[in-house]
Structure 1
Amino acid sequence: MTFQSVSEAKPGDRWRALFEAYWPAYERWFLSEGVEARQTYLAGYRALKKHMPELVPTYDKLVELVGGGDVAARFLSFYCPPPYLSGCSQAVKAGDEPLLVRNYDYPPALSDAVILNSRWNDRWVTGMTDGLFGLVDGMNEAGLAVSLTFGGRTIVGDGFGVPIIIRYVLEFCRTTQEAVRALKRIPCHMAYNVTVVDKNGRYNTVYMSPDRGTSVTDQPVATNHQEQVEWHRHARATATVERERFLLQRLTLHDEPADRFIAAFQKPPLYSLAYDRGFGTLYTAVYWPARGAIEYRWPGEVWDHEVTNPSIGTRTIKFPAGAMLA
């Protein structure tokens, strides 16, 4: 699996080339339930204008870049997309220098594997993309880091796919308080847990759901359930309770340096080899908000980045046999 890092301040030829390469696969996924199952372009546009109006000019530019087609425009709004699941573990380690560490557990064949550095709205943002517009985790030059995990509920409702919400937060928020306000008011189409930390070490984990509002917690840890386990089969398959307990114990019972805490994410029970079931760990991301530094890690390999000075290039990672079949 090849990860690539791309930098382009404003949407242009590089982003368009990425979209053109990925669009055939995304179009098949987006229309997998039939075009009638997807919201109209107008519904998505109106929802963006109501809930994330500052993002509309960027959306318009991206739609223009890809030719203005109806299906692509619906897709890029991220409004009421097909459901999708992931694993993932994430935790904030507070202290002298806060950091956010996360494992992204997902089928390799379905991941963008694109680190995008951009300045679309006068603030540098770097993160791992989803759908080339959204982000599954990232950080901005203000020192705000954000990451998501699936919330372990099967309910689907009206709202946005969470990656576009993460994009919005990083484009327009500077602090955890600002991010939480945005997360509370923007509707999400599925259950997701979003952990936020800023350069001053303030953090929250926000439980988002389409049917029961948003809950703001002071939890430093998120795996794949919210207040309690509701989807027991998924919980057993992903070991969500075991991973949460492990992380909480590391944070509360161990006074360990940051490097040892980070290293724990690349070992069981956090590091997953369940690629055949679509929950293998694709990468570990480490965000250092106070210094604007980012690390993408794999066993035995670290790729360093800075939000305002990105590392451009590719890294090819070998996963266990059968991983790409997920």
Structure 2
Amino acid sequence: MIWRAIDEAEPGPKWAALFAEFWPSYQRWWLREGEDARPTYLEGLQALRSHMPEIVPLYERLCDLAGGGDQAARFLSFYRPPPYLSGCSQAVWPGKEPVLVRNYDYSPQAFDSLVLRTVWNGRTVLGTSDGLWGLVDGMNDAGLALSLTFGGRRVVGDGFGVPLILRYVLQTCETTEGAARALARIPTHMSYNVTVVDRRRRIRTVMMSPDRPARITHGAVATNHQDRVEWDSHARLTATVERERFLLQRLTLHVEPEEKFIQAFLRPPLYSTAFALGFGTLYTAAYRPRLGQMELRWPQAAWPLHIGGFPDQIRRTYTPEECTNLGR
């Protein structure tokens, strides 16, 4: 995988170039059920105005940078996108400087491999990109960090793709309580668990679903089910219950150093090698929101980044099997 870290304060030529590069693949994915299956431009715009009005001017600016086409604008609204599944584990290490640690388990062929630092609408946000302005994890300059896991339910409904909801929260919220309220309010098209921590060490996990009210918990751990397993085959494939128990034990049965806790994400049962099935661990991320630090980890490498800024960078990563084949 070729990773890039891009720092561009305002939407501009870097973002436009990324969109031009990624759009053919995203367009194929977006159209895989046919164009009529996707909402119209006006439906997406009206949904944004109803639920996330603060980012509508930003959306319109990005549509212009994307060329102003109808399909691109409909895709960028993230409203009722095609369904997609992931694995993922996440937990908050409750030290003096809290750390949100997560594994992202997904297909490398359907992933941006991109970290973006932006200062859109005056708010600095650093995180892992999905859909070129959505995020699967990230933090902002107010000291708020969050990440998502798939909620393990088949139901698909009216709502937004959750990466845009995470972007909205980081653009507009400063505290865990504010983030939890926004996550509970905005409709999502599939079920997800979002774990949030702020600089005052307040933790919430919000279980979001398209067909029932969101549930806000004080949980510091989330894997790929909500209150109970509702999709047995997916639960077995991803070992969601086993991963949740493992993390809960590490947080409740004994206190361990931060580094040891992070290292646990780089080994089974949290680290997944199911790359052929689309559920391999693509990266581990550790967010220290009080310090403004983000660190990406792999079994063979670490990549620290800071919300204060960095030069654009490129990194190449390998799965453990590739490392073995390469003699590394």
Length-normalised TM-score, structure 1: 0.98
Cα distance per residue 1:41-80 (max 9 Å; x no partner): 0000000001000000100000001111010000000000
Task: Tell me if the contact between 1:304 and 1:311 (Cα under 8 Å) persists in the aligned partners.
Answer: no
> What residue number does 2:124 align with?
124
Task: Give the superposed CA RMSD.
Answer: 1.1
Cα distance per residue 1:104-139 (max 9 Å; x no partner): 000011100000000011111000000101000001
Cα distance per residue 1:282-301 (max 9 Å; x no partner): 00000001111110001131
> What residue number does 2:37 align with?
37
| Alpha-carbon distance, 1:309 to partner | 2.0
Question: Quick one: distance in 1 between partners of 2:51 and 2:248?
Answer: 34
> What residue number does 1:58 align with?
58
Question: Quick one: distance in 2 between partners of 1:321 and 1:102?
Answer: 21
| Alpha-carbon distance, 1:321 to partner | 5.1
Question: Quick one: distance in 2 between partners of 1:315 and 1:244?
Answer: 31
Tell me the amino acid that sits aligned with residue 172 of structure 1: T
Q: Which runs of 5+ in 2 are unaligned?
A: 324-328
What pairs with 1:103-122 in structure 2 (closer than 5 Å)?
Answer: 103-122=103-122
Q: Residue 226 of structure 2 aligns to a residue in which SS?
A: coil
> What residue number does 2:279 align with?
279
Question: Quick one: distance in 2 between partners of 1:281 and 1:137?
Answer: 14
What pairs with 1:279-298 in structure 2 (closer than 5 Å)?
Answer: 279-298=279-298
Question: Quick one: distance in 1 between partners of 2:295 and 2:168?
Answer: 22
| Alpha-carbon distance, 1:254 to partner | 1.8
Task: Tell me if the contact between 2:7 and 2:309 (Cα under 8 Å) persists in the aligned partners.
Answer: no
Tell me the amino acid that sits aligned with residue 22 of structure 1: F
Question: Quick one: distance in 2 between partners of 1:184 and 1:225?
Answer: 17
Tell me the amino acid that sits aligned with residue 91 of structure 1: A
Q: Residue 270 of structure 1 aligns to a residue in which SS?
A: coil
Question: Quick one: distance in 2 between partners of 1:114 and 1:77?
Answer: 20
> What residue number does 1:304 align with?
304
| Alpha-carbon distance, 1:141 to partner | 0.7
Question: Quick one: distance in 1 between partners of 2:311 and 2:260?
Answer: 25
Cα distance per residue 1:212-245 (max 9 Å; x no partner): 1100011100000000000000000000000000
| Alpha-carbon distance, 1:190 to partner | 0.2
> What residue number does 1:212 align with?
212
Q: Which runs of 5+ in 1 are unaligned?
A: none
Cα distance per residue 1:152-191 (max 9 Å; x no partner): 0000000000000000000111010110111111000000
Task: Tell me if the contact between 1:305 and 1:311 (Cα under 8 Å) persists in the aligned partners.
Answer: no
Tell me the amino acid that sits aligned with residue 303 of structure 1: W
Question: Quick one: distance in 1 between partners of 2:74 and 2:156?
Answer: 18
Q: Give the share of equivalent positions with the same residue, in percent.
A: 61
Task: Tell me if the contact between 2:140 and 2:171 (Cα under 8 Å) persists in the aligned partners.
Answer: yes
Question: Quick one: distance in 2 between partners of 1:322 and 1:189?
Answer: 35
